[in-house]
Amino acid sequence: MNPGEKLIKQLRLIKKIAGPEARLERIKSEIIDRWGSNPPDNIRQRVDYIEAKMPMGHARETATEIRATLAEVESLLLIDDAIRGRGQLAGASDGGKERAKKHGFKHRAEELQREVNDLHCKNRHLSYAQIQERVAITFNCSASTVKNYTKNPNKTG
Protein backbone atom coordinates (compact mmCIF):
# COMPACT_ATOMS: atom_id res chain seq x y z
CA MET A 1 0.00 0.00 0.00
CA ASN A 2 1.49 3.33 -1.03
CA PRO A 3 1.46 6.39 1.27
CA GLY A 4 -1.45 7.99 -0.60
CA GLU A 5 -3.68 4.94 -0.19
CA LYS A 6 -2.69 4.70 3.46
CA LEU A 7 -3.68 8.34 4.03
CA ILE A 8 -7.04 7.84 2.27
CA LYS A 9 -7.71 4.77 4.43
CA GLN A 10 -6.91 6.75 7.60
CA LEU A 11 -9.16 9.62 6.50
CA ARG A 12 -12.03 7.19 5.83
CA LEU A 13 -11.52 5.67 9.27
CA ILE A 14 -11.55 9.11 10.91
CA LYS A 15 -14.69 10.06 8.97
CA LYS A 16 -16.35 6.83 10.03
CA ILE A 17 -15.42 7.34 13.70
CA ALA A 18 -16.50 10.99 13.76
CA GLY A 19 -19.46 10.52 11.40
CA PRO A 20 -23.08 10.97 12.43
CA GLU A 21 -23.61 7.23 12.90
CA ALA A 22 -20.72 6.96 15.35
CA ARG A 23 -21.80 10.11 17.18
CA LEU A 24 -25.34 8.78 17.48
CA GLU A 25 -24.10 5.46 18.85
CA ARG A 26 -21.90 7.25 21.40
CA ILE A 27 -24.85 9.43 22.45
CA LYS A 28 -27.14 6.40 22.76
CA SER A 29 -24.63 4.53 24.91
CA GLU A 30 -24.21 7.59 27.14
CA ILE A 31 -28.00 7.90 27.48
CA ILE A 32 -28.27 4.23 28.44
CA ASP A 33 -25.47 4.65 31.00
CA ARG A 34 -27.25 7.61 32.61
CA TRP A 35 -30.95 6.80 32.41
CA GLY A 36 -31.25 3.21 31.18
CA SER A 37 -34.32 2.86 28.97
CA ASN A 38 -36.06 6.01 30.35
CA PRO A 39 -34.22 9.13 29.17
CA PRO A 40 -35.88 12.57 29.47
CA ASP A 41 -38.51 13.22 26.80
CA ASN A 42 -36.66 16.09 25.11
CA ILE A 43 -33.58 13.93 24.56
CA ARG A 44 -35.58 10.86 23.50
CA GLN A 45 -37.51 12.93 20.91
CA ARG A 46 -34.32 14.33 19.40
CA VAL A 47 -32.66 10.91 19.19
CA ASP A 48 -35.80 9.44 17.57
CA TYR A 49 -35.75 12.33 15.08
CA ILE A 50 -32.11 11.64 14.20
CA GLU A 51 -32.77 7.91 13.79
CA ALA A 52 -35.72 8.64 11.48
CA LYS A 53 -33.67 11.01 9.31
CA MET A 54 -30.47 8.92 9.28
CA PRO A 55 -31.39 6.68 6.29
CA MET A 56 -32.15 9.83 4.25
CA GLY A 57 -28.94 11.49 5.41
CA HIS A 58 -27.35 11.58 1.98
CA ALA A 59 -29.19 14.74 0.97
CA ARG A 60 -27.22 17.84 1.92
CA GLU A 61 -30.07 19.51 3.86
CA THR A 62 -30.86 16.35 5.82
CA ALA A 63 -27.20 15.78 6.69
CA THR A 64 -26.94 19.35 7.98
CA GLU A 65 -30.12 18.86 10.01
CA ILE A 66 -28.77 15.64 11.49
CA ARG A 67 -25.44 17.26 12.45
CA ALA A 68 -27.26 20.20 14.06
CA THR A 69 -29.57 17.90 16.05
CA LEU A 70 -26.62 15.74 17.12
CA ALA A 71 -24.82 18.85 18.36
CA GLU A 72 -27.99 19.89 20.21
CA VAL A 73 -28.28 16.53 21.96
CA GLU A 74 -24.59 16.59 22.88
CA SER A 75 -24.98 20.06 24.38
CA LEU A 76 -28.06 18.88 26.34
CA LEU A 77 -25.97 16.08 27.77
CA LEU A 78 -23.29 18.59 28.79
CA ILE A 79 -25.91 20.84 30.41
CA ASP A 80 -27.14 17.82 32.35
CA ASP A 81 -23.58 17.30 33.60
CA ALA A 82 -23.47 20.89 34.81
CA ILE A 83 -26.80 20.49 36.60
CA ARG A 84 -25.61 17.30 38.26
CA GLY A 85 -22.46 19.12 39.39
CA ARG A 86 -24.61 21.84 40.94
CA GLY A 87 -26.63 19.16 42.71
CA GLN A 88 -23.49 17.56 44.05
CA LEU A 89 -22.35 20.89 45.50
CA ALA A 90 -25.74 21.45 47.10
CA GLY A 91 -25.61 17.96 48.59
CA ALA A 92 -22.14 18.55 49.94
CA SER A 93 -23.25 21.82 51.50
CA ASP A 94 -26.27 20.11 53.09
CA GLY A 95 -23.96 17.38 54.40
CA GLY A 96 -21.68 19.96 55.96
CA LYS A 97 -24.60 21.63 57.68
CA GLU A 98 -25.83 18.29 59.04
CA ARG A 99 -22.34 17.50 60.31
CA ALA A 100 -22.19 20.88 62.04
CA LYS A 101 -25.54 20.20 63.70
CA LYS A 102 -24.33 16.80 64.86
CA HIS A 103 -21.17 18.12 66.48
CA GLY A 104 -22.94 21.26 67.66
CA PHE A 105 -20.05 23.65 68.19
CA LYS A 106 -22.09 26.63 67.06
CA HIS A 107 -24.26 26.56 70.16
CA ARG A 108 -21.15 25.84 72.26
CA ALA A 109 -19.24 28.85 70.91
CA GLU A 110 -19.72 30.83 74.13
CA GLU A 111 -18.42 27.90 76.15
CA LEU A 112 -15.37 27.61 73.86
CA GLN A 113 -14.71 31.35 74.11
CA ARG A 114 -15.03 31.26 77.91
CA GLU A 115 -12.45 28.44 78.06
CA VAL A 116 -10.12 30.36 75.73
CA ASN A 117 -10.41 33.48 77.87
CA ASP A 118 -9.85 31.53 81.13
CA LEU A 119 -6.79 29.79 79.75
CA HIS A 120 -5.44 33.11 78.49
CA CYS A 121 -5.91 34.74 81.91
CA LYS A 122 -4.12 31.86 83.68
CA ASN A 123 -1.29 31.58 81.13
CA ARG A 124 -0.62 34.92 79.47
CA HIS A 125 2.58 33.64 77.90
CA LEU A 126 0.67 31.20 75.65
CA SER A 127 0.04 32.15 72.05
CA TYR A 128 -3.44 31.97 70.59
CA ALA A 129 -2.42 28.86 68.61
CA GLN A 130 -1.26 27.12 71.79
CA ILE A 131 -4.50 28.08 73.53
CA GLN A 132 -6.49 26.69 70.58
CA GLU A 133 -4.64 23.37 70.82
CA ARG A 134 -5.27 23.01 74.56
CA VAL A 135 -8.95 23.95 74.29
CA ALA A 136 -9.32 21.52 71.36
CA ILE A 137 -8.04 18.69 73.56
CA THR A 138 -10.48 19.66 76.31
CA PHE A 139 -13.48 19.74 73.92
CA ASN A 140 -12.32 16.79 71.80
CA CYS A 141 -12.25 18.74 68.54
CA SER A 142 -9.62 20.22 66.25
CA ALA A 143 -7.73 23.45 66.82
CA SER A 144 -9.26 24.85 63.64
CA THR A 145 -12.75 24.33 65.14
CA VAL A 146 -11.71 26.38 68.16
CA LYS A 147 -10.26 29.01 65.82
CA ASN A 148 -13.51 29.16 63.81
CA TYR A 149 -15.74 29.66 66.84
CA THR A 150 -13.59 31.90 69.05
CA LYS A 151 -11.70 35.19 68.95
CA ASN A 152 -8.17 35.88 70.00
CA PRO A 153 -8.30 37.28 73.56
CA ASN A 154 -5.15 39.31 72.90
CA LYS A 155 -6.93 41.39 70.29
CA THR A 156 -9.44 43.95 71.43
CA GLY A 157 -12.48 44.97 69.44
Instruction: Give 39-90 pLDDT, tens digit per residue.
Output: 888 888 888 888 887 776 555 667 777 777 877 777 777 666 566 666 666 6
d(CA 49, CA 43): 10
d(CA 108, CA 66): 62
Backbone angles phi, psi at 17, to 5 degrees: -65, -40
Decide if pLDDT at 7 tops 60. no
Closest to 27 (Cα-Cα) out of 35, 156, 86, 11? 35
Which amino acid, one-letter code, is at 143? A
Instruction: Give the chain's mean pLDDT.
Output: 77
Domain ranges of the chain: 3-103, 109-149
Higher pLDDT, 76 or 9: 76
